Amino acid sequence: MACHRFTFPGQTVFAVCFFFALVQGPGALVVSSAYAQSRLNRPPPRYLQLSPPDQKEGAEILRGLRAAGPAGDYYLEFELRVLPRRGEETRVPGRLWGGRNREGPISRLALKIASGSDGEGTERRILVQGGPKPAAWAWPAGTGSTIELDEAALFSPLAGTDLSAFDLQMPFLYWTDFVYEGTTRLQDRPADTFLLYPPASLAKRRPDLVAMRVYLDPQYHALVQAEQLGEGERVLKSFRVVSLRKIGENWIVRSVELRDEATRNKTRFFVTAAALGLDFSGSVFDPGGLSAALTPPAKLTRLAE
Cis peptide bond prior to 70, omega within 30° of 0: no
pTM given for the model = 0.83
Residue 45: pLDDT over 80: yes
Q: How deeply is 273 buried, as exposed, middle or buried, from its count of CB atoms within 10 A (0-12, 13-18, 19+)?
A: middle
Residue 176: pLDDT over 50: yes
- Quick one: pLDDT at residue 93? 96
- Quick one: pLDDT at residue 96? 97
Q: Are 286 and 141 in contact (CB under 8 A)?
A: no
Per-residue confidence band for 165, with pLDDT thresholds at 50, 70 and 90: very high
Residue 33: pLDDT over 60: no
- Quick one: pLDDT at residue 143? 67
- Quick one: pLDDT at residue 140? 83
Q: Which of 271, 243, 262, 77 is CA-nearest to residue 162?
A: 262
What pLDDT, in 10s, does the model give residues 256-283?
Answer: 999 999 999 999 999 999 999 999 998 9
What pLDDT, in 10s, does the model give residues 212-260?
Answer: 999 998 887 789 999 999 999 999 999 999 988 888 777 788 999 999 9
- Quick one: pLDDT at residue 218? 87
- Quick one: pLDDT at residue 275? 95
- Quick one: pLDDT at residue 145? 87
Beta-carbon count within 10 A of 61 CB: 18
pLDDT, mean over the chain: 84
Per-residue confidence band for 142, with pLDDT thresholds at 50, 70 and 90: low
Class of the CATH-defined domain 4-278: mainly beta
